[in-house]
Amino acid sequence: MQSMTFRVTLIEVDSETVSESRGRNRLLLEEGTVVCGYRIGKVIGRGGMATVYDAWDVRRDCPVALKIMPRGGRPASKARFEREARHAATIRHKNVVRIFDLGSLPDGRSYLTMERLFGLPLSRWLGTGHVFTVRQLNEIITPLFRAVGAVHTAGLVHRDIKPGNLFITSEGAFKLIDFGLSIGGHGPRLTREGQVVGTPVYVSPEQVLGEPIDFRTDVYAIGMTMWTLATGRSPFDENRPFADIFVDAVQNVPPLASEHADVPCVLADVLAKMYRKKPSDRYATIADAAQAWRTAYASLDLD
């Protein structure tokens, strides 16, 4: 795959972040120790569900990212964590993060290991005020279509496509990450009736309304993600309560052409069909959306 035309700066979490993590009793592992066959390095990420370490797989002799759940998590959170590992492990694609292992620490906390990625998620680019060019949008959506196509071929719906889960490595490669909300055709549903999961801006109207979801839910999220990358901002006011944002999600999204004139109309039209309110009005498959985008992009003269 050709490297993208923009590069990333490597980042580490700062000491304040690590202090917060200690303060929340996340039982940080000591750097340099070997746990379950992994030599522990620095904390490189922290979220509401897990702490991620830079680690070395002693058996495979390679770097990995070690993701560990906090102690005392809810059963549903543990189930989602384990589901992430199982679902992602079924996919072998260069644009999807690879999962290596799932297990439990001696103290009972669940962990998983995945390929170590160096770079930044696209959400960090947005945080700098970066607005992506048309070429960059193409360089993002093309491997994104391929990655989500592999996910759908495996019978899964990702359900959490957003800039924070799209990762650009320091070499310019694209990776789709975080399968914690993905669902398949088998196994129990881990979301209570009436409960909405996901990031409000990218959650499809059918998810908000509690209606059945399918692959077109991911089509919607890709369209909304590209809208955000093209404009450098959210289509909705994220400072308002989540409930209000969800209300916006079932209404019409502002036309991209009225927000960012640099996106050609033929591309804006493709994205608009992807994030239409009714699933039946969207592209039926990722392959259909990808073909429409390729045709529109090929018609442009960007020289």
Can you give the residue range of the structural domain that contains 52?
A: 15-115
Residues 71 and 111: beta-carbon distance below 8 Å: no
The CATH number covering residue 62 comes to 3.30.200.20
Domain assignment of residue 8, yes or no:
no
Reported as a single tens digit per residue, the pLDDT across 141-194 is 999 999 999 999 999 999 899 999 999 999 999 999 987 777 874 434 434 344
Domain assignment of residue 9, yes or no:
no
Question: Which residue shows structure tokens 């979220």?
Answer: 47
What's the domain count of the chain? 2
Q: Are residues 81 and 170 in the same domain?
A: no
Structural domain ending residue among the three candidates 93, 115, 137: 115
Q: Are residues 147 and 276 in the same domain?
A: yes
Q: Using the 8-state DSSP alphabet, how is residue 165 labeled? A: G
Cα four-point dihedral sign 29, 35, 39, 43: negative
- Pairwise CA distance, residues 69 & 73, whole Å: 7
Is 269 part of the annotated catalytic residue set?
A: no
Reported as a single tens digit per residue, the pLDDT across 197-236 is 557 778 888 888 888 889 999 999 999 999 999 988 877 7
Compute the average pLDDT of residues 236-246. 61
Q: Are residues 158 and 79 in the same domain?
A: no
Structural domain ending residue among the three candidates 115, 133, 160: 115
pTM of the model: 0.82
Catalytic residue, candidates 160, 178, 218, 248: 160
Distance from CA of residue 58 to its chain's centroid? 28
Average pLDDT, the chain: 81
Reported as a single tens digit per residue, the pLDDT across 82-106 is 777 787 788 899 999 998 998 989 9
Q: Give burial (CB, 10 Å; 0-12/13-18/19+) of 225.
A: buried
Structural domain ending residue among the three candidates 90, 115, 140: 115
